[in-house]
Amino acid sequence: MTTLVRVLSGVAACVAIEAGQVGASGSLAAAPSAQARASAPAVPAAAAVVRPGIEVFLAELPPAVRGKRIGLITNHSAIDRARNLDIDLIAKHPELKLVALLAPEHGIRGDVQAGVKIQDDTDPKTGVPIFSLYMAEDRGPTPEMLKDVDVLVYDLQEVGGRTWTYVSTMALAMQAAAKKGISFVVLDRPNPIGGEIVEGALLDPRFASFVGMYPIPARHGMTVGELATLFNRKFGIGADLYVVRAANWRRSQWLDDTGLPWVNPSPNLRSLGALQHYPGTVYFEGTNLSEGRGTDRPFEQAGAPWLDAPAVAATLNARKLPGIRFEAITMAVEPAAAKFPGQTIPALRFIVTDRQAYRPVRTALLVIDEIRRQHPKDFAWGTSIDRLTGSDLVRRAIDEGTLAQLLEQWDREAAEFRESRTPFLLY
């Protein structure tokens, strides 16, 4: 397989193309190698503005999409630097014909709560039909949804954690595109919590689900374009894949380093602070503690009516875990919340002191372990814990008092993945 990196005129960015067969453009190409990335010319400082893939894409359309009928997998998070929605930008482009919108979990406007099934609809502004990809879990685009589509375009914000269902939606849509024989285009965006830190064990394929389809770590440190490349090559999807790189992003950059605007990727991820905890605090969903849904800070705090928050916080703070401290609080839970509705309960608030040193996956598991130690009669696992952690090892290790050994093993696995992912990195 040959390598082609097409530098777009007037835009300091590349379009990386990965194809398992000759695509609509007639190109047979792959993503740039590590050597190609290292040898690429430096971008002049004056031009080093981070641009999301949607801007690069519209500045110079790949030949494979010109004049084609587009199916767009998107939601409210897919904006440019001026906060223009990709739906509107693509709909008005003279060389593109937007014929279908496909909505992931939380809906096309991102305001539907987790787990609520989305219905088909019509976009009132463009008149384009909206097809739900979340009427049933593990649902990709159906042949009926794609009957008028020549090219599928994916533009959704990643959050850096394996359990993020938008990534599973992408994988299922890639499979559907491969089956129909149409191209799949990813408009890449920076990973908002950076591209350097990798943490947690790889998912055990026996526990694959919609909150983790492929064996990647809990915090993978990759963009959606890089994940698409990994899924396509390593796990044999075989789609005719085009990845439109974000311009000028560096792996060390978090979202607040890029100048790009913030938008809540889902109703319960409301800040970059929440995202830095999410790869770990999502595990509280698999326990009988609240993960903060229905409170003012989802995924930044966890609690239960029986929790002795001051005692647990004191024990954890005495351990001086890297980059984090804990505050004992009470949190008010909304009446519509799934856990402890309408109650005000004791809780722990996670407060980051050094985000480069902080490891949310390790930290969340140590917190759960300590809560179980102090509340052996009150603490209980929920039915989703194995799906969320990607195996039954966490549950068993905490129950058996062997979490420390498991975390050492996970650290080794994360380090190995950090190296093995190198061929799939685009930045």
Say whether pLDDT at 15 is over 50.
no
- Comparing 329 with 119, which gets the higher pLDDT? 329
Question: Residue 207 pLDDT more than 60?
Answer: yes
Largest CA distance in the chain: 65
At residue 274, what is the residue type?
A
CA distance 301 to 268: 12
Q: What is the reported pLDDT for 116?
A: 59
pTM of the model: 0.88
| 46: exposed, middle or buried (Cβ count in 10 Å: 0-12, 13-18, 19+) | exposed
pLDDT score recorded for residue 48:
86
State the pLDDT at residue 31. Answer: 44
pLDDT grade for 154, boundaries at 50, 70 and 90: very high
Per-residue pLDDT at 29: 35
Which pLDDT value is given to residue 20?
Answer: 40
Asked whether the predicted pLDDT for residue 28 surpasses 50, the reply is no
- Check if CATH label 3.90.1150.140 holds for domain 272-391: yes
Q: Spell out the domain ranges in the chain.
A: 5-257, 272-391
Q: What is the DSSP letter of 69?
A: E
Q: What are the DSSP calls for 260-289, one per residue?
A: PPP--SBTTB-SHHHHHHHHHHGGGGGBSS
Closest CA to 245 of 2, 8, 36, 1: 8
Given a contact cutoff of 8 angstroms between Cβ atoms, the answer to whether 286 and 305 are in contact is no
Residue 275, token pair as written in the block: 């995202």
Q: Which residues, in sequence order, are CB contacts of 180 under 8 Å at separation 6+?
A: 143, 146, 149
Class for domain 5-257, per CATH? Answer: alpha beta
Whether the predicted pLDDT of 110 surpasses 80: no
- To the nearest whole number, what is the mean pLDDT of the chain? 88
